[in-house]
Amino acid sequence: MPSPEKYLQHHDVEALPNGNILMIAWELQSAEEALAAGRAPAAIPPEGIWSEMIFEVRPEPPTGGVIVWQWRVWDHLAQKDDAAGNARRLDINFTGSNPNVGSNADWLHLNSVSYNEKLDQIILSSRAWSEIWVIDHSTTTEEAASRQGGRYRRGGDILYRWGNPRAYGAGTPADQKLFNQHDAQWIAADLPGAGNILVFNNGIGRGYSSADELAPPMDLSGGYRLEENGRFGPVNPVWTFGATAGPNFITQTAGGTQRLRNGNTILCLSNANRVVEVTPEKEIVWTLNLGAGEAGGFTFRANRFPSDAPQLAGTEFSGIAPTVRNAASMVQGVLAPGALAVASGTPGAVSVTDAGGVTRAAAITGSSPETVTFQVPSQTGIGPARLTVDGPGGARQTRDFRVNDVSPGLFSADGDGEGVGAVIATVDGPQGRVVQPAYILDPATKTYVPSAIPFAGSVYLSLYGTGFAISDSVREVTIGGFAVPILAIARLAELPGIEQINIGPLPAALAGKRNQQIVITADGVASNAVEVSFQ
């Protein structure tokens, strides 16, 4: 690229079918050049302004490449007086919603480029103007600098634009549809919605981000019709998702979208480090939370590839490392032989490799679209271990964890390792034996709350958990700080990995006490605490 002081490639590139590459580049215009072109003096920073260009480069490895075509914004400007109603030119004094235009040299901020081979057109996204633009790629470089020539006979002028008709004097803020968008693209010919335009609409100032699909008003030749009101249609997208996705469904910067072969759509919420897949009926069917990590998190764009895609030939899939937790306590990273565990990520065949290098298949006891529950093989050696989940299509996920002699965990009624315990009480009183759960569902909150156990005789509890039923481990159970006798401990043969411990009789001092914490200690390792209440 010539003169790095004047040109700077940024944001996005697009590979063309002929092997060439389209790239976005800033083009520095000095303050004097901007003033001569009609830019208002108050809107010119001292260093000048960064206009935009598109270069087409033919790679010539290993030394670099050759520019074979280019298009410049600077060749298609209009003054404010003649920009109104001129939808094919770009108003040099339009500043979008930027309140600090006089200090912002990046007045256009292109952030994506996409190519349509059938139409030989390029679509660009201007974040600063909240618009997408379509230009003709069939022109020569000379024609691209003019207003005539090329397949559509308009040279390098704008063929189509959408999102903010105020940018060409044909609307008001109420007519704006895009809000600092990213990743504008044509939907490919072999995908549902072929020929339509898909764009990630950040929704800045609107309160939510969305994927918007629009059907541009194209004639048979591939040209675009202006409406009688001087605007390009359509009035609204033919499909959109985001408004009903709930709170915090927004990314202030970046973002991306992708149409899949099954008709679903991927959305990447960059600031949230989250990727979702949504159906045409607007149901989220898959979510990937990449997590912030110690240094923060940010995902510029996300695209899904089938595992047999030619671009991935020879790739060994490892996937996103799943989390591995005690299925009862939800404590991460430490398990015991025979314990029940839950791993996040795509379900599949599970195996555990122990410190001795022995790999054993793990019994799967349940799964959901985002988790798999399994029992750690009882012969697993103590020390570092590795979980491997082999999913469909060759996808492989791995996670290192540690195997200790014990990893005590107690189940809570809600299954999150907190709050009221999954506890069954037996009360031997004057009226005979009464068995009742220590929890009840609150219909208002759809969560479990304590059901107070009556102290009308001898009270015994059955607790359920995992990771503590090792034959030679030393165990202790306390409730509200009171030690309680242990009657029996057993692994439930019909429920692999789940262990039961029966305790009692409970000390009378617990009568009338609410929200008392139960803790199991095995070989000096304490479990999570769950709660129980008494009348």
pLDDT of residue 409: 95
pLDDT at 102 over 90: no
35-62 average pLDDT score: 94
DSSP-assigned beta bridge partners for residue 131: 126
Percent of the chain at pLDDT exceeding 70:
93
Contacts by residues 139-148 (CB-CB < 8 Å, ≥ 24 positions apart): 139/71, 140/69, 141/69, 141/70, 144/69, 144/70, 144/71, 144/72, 144/75, 145/71, 145/72, 145/75, 146/75, 147/76, 147/88
Residue 103: band (very low, low, confident or very high) from pLDDT cuts 50, 70, 90: low
Phi first, then psi, for residue 144 (nearest 5°) are -65, -20
pLDDT of residue 164: 96
Q: From CA 182, how far away is CA 149, in angstroms rounded?
A: 29
pLDDT at 345 over 80: no
DSSP class per residue in 248-282? T---SS--EEEE-TTS-EEEEETTTTEEEEE-TT-
As given in the structure block, the two tokens for residue 382 are 């103590």
Residue 10 burial (C-beta neighbours within 10 Å; 0-12, 13-18, 19+): middle
pLDDT at 295 over 50: no
Cis, peptide link before residue 507, omega less than 30° from 0: no
Residue 230 C-alpha from the chain's centroid: 38
pLDDT of residue 319: 52
Residue 271: band (very low, low, confident or very high) from pLDDT cuts 50, 70, 90: confident
pLDDT of residue 527: 93
Please list, residue by residue across 78-113, b when 16 or more beta carbons sit within 10 angstroms of its beta carbon and e when fewer do: beeeebeebbbbbbbbbbbbeeebeebbbbbbbbbb
pLDDT of residue 392: 75
Mind listing the pLDDT tens digit for each residue in 147-194?
999 999 999 999 999 999 999 989 999 999 999 999 999 999 989 999
249-268 average pLDDT score: 93
Greatest mean pLDDT among 130-144, 247-261, 402-416, 442-456 lies in 130-144
pLDDT of residue 518: 96
List the single range of 202-206, 277-281, 368-372 with lowest mean pLDDT. Answer: 368-372
82 sits in which H/E element: helix 80-83
17-21 average pLDDT score: 96
462-467 average pLDDT score: 95
381-387 average pLDDT score: 90
pLDDT of residue 34: 94
List the single range of 294-308, 310-324, 349-363 with lowest mean pLDDT. Answer: 310-324
As given in the structure block, the two tokens for residue 410 are 């107690």
pLDDT at 1 over 60: no
pLDDT at 37 over 80: yes
Task: Look up tokens 């206009």; give the residue.
Answer: 51
pLDDT at 350 over 90: yes
What domains does the chain contain, in order, with CATH numbers?
97-304 (no CATH), 324-403 (2.70.50.70), 409-532 (no CATH)
Task: Look up tokens 């009624």; give the residue.
Answer: 413
**Mean pLDDT of the residues in the chain:** 90
Q: From CA 167, how far away is CA 173, in angstroms rounded?
A: 10
Q: From CA 161, how far away is CA 149, in angstroms rounded?
A: 19
Which of 226, 240, 289 is CA-nearest to residue 85? 226
468-491 average pLDDT score: 86
Please say whether the beta carbons of 522 and 475 come within 8 A. yes
Cβ count near 244 (within 10 Å)? 10
Residue 265: band (very low, low, confident or very high) from pLDDT cuts 50, 70, 90: very high
Q: From CA 46, how far away is CA 31, in angstroms rounded?
A: 6
List the single range of 79-88, 240-249, 422-431, 450-459 with lowest mean pLDDT. Answer: 79-88
The residue type at 185 = Q
Pairing of strands 77-78, 90-91: parallel
List the single range of 186-195, 422-431, 467-476 with lowest mean pLDDT. Answer: 467-476
pLDDT of residue 97: 65
As given in the structure block, the two tokens for residue 18 are 């002929």
pLDDT of residue 293: 41
